[in-house]
Amino acid sequence: MLSKKIILTGSLGVGKTSLFNQFLYQRFDEKYLTTIGVKVDKKTVMVNGRELSLLVWDIAGEIKQDKVPRTYFLGSSALIYVFDLTRPTTYSNMLEDLKYLKMITPGVVIRVIGNKIDLVDLEKLNDILDKVPATIDFTTSAKTGENVENVFFSIGEELLDNA
């Protein structure tokens, strides 16, 4: 079976671990627990009738992406750049971060995710989206599960198209 490595990255507290737990184990915890290193687990998904094994990396959040150890990106096929819709500091550095990530992982599929959509109402969301400096691919909630599978599924589709 084809397997692909996906990294969740982005600033502290944006919900990387929560998205990981929701996608891998359908679990959510309100209580914050600091990630200090890396955790990897895999899940098989069906994409357009084909089985694909996704190897998902949850890593410690860094305020700036150039602080993330380079070895973490070894062999990755996709990156999910997560920010917190409720905290502007988590997207203020986005353009620089994305530029850096594209430079060190050329050709890798990237998704930009605004998480914690359950905490913002529609009116507020438009305000926020105006302020976010890059195009957002999905808004998600690790809490309710909204769009979480879709993020990984869309990555799977693009990876299979490229394969």
Ligand X SMILES: Nc1nc2c(ncn2[C@@H]2O[C@H](COP(=O)(O)OP(=O)(O)O)[C@@H](O)[C@H]2O)c(=O)[nH]1
Binding site for ligand X (CB under 6 A): 12-18, 29-30, 32, 35, 61, 115-116, 118-119, 141-143
* Phi-psi category of residue 147: left, alpha or beta, with phi > 0 → left and psi -120 to 50 → alpha: left
Secondary structure of 25-83 as H, E, C letters: HCCCCCCCCCCCCEEEEEEEEEECCEEEEEEEEEECCCCCHHHCCHHHHCCCCEEEEEE
Q: Residue 42 binds which entry of Mg ion, ligand X, another protein, none, with Cβ cut-offs from 5 to 8 Å by kind?
A: another protein
Q: Residue 116 binds which entry of another protein, Mg ion, ligand X, none, with Cβ cut-offs from 5 to 8 Å by kind?
A: ligand X
- Contact flag: residue 88 with another protein (CB under 8 A): no
According to CB under 5 A, which residues from 14 to 33 bind Mg ion?
Answer: 16-17
Q: For helices 16-25 and 148-162, what crossing angle results, to 10°?
A: 80
Instruction: Choose, by CB under 5 A, the member of 35, 53, 92, 93 that binds Mg ion.
Output: 35
Min separation Cβ 7 and another protein, Å: 9
The total number of residues shown for the chain amounts to 163
| Under 8 Å between Cβ of 79 and 110 | yes
- Contact flag: residue 136 with another protein (CB under 8 A): no
Nearer Cβ to ligand X (1/30) = 30
How far from chain centre, in Å, is Cα 84? 11
- Contact flag: residue 145 with another protein (CB under 8 A): no
Q: What is the contact surface with another protein in residues (CB under 8 A)? A: 3, 5, 12-13, 32-34, 36-42, 55, 57, 60, 69, 71-72, 74-76
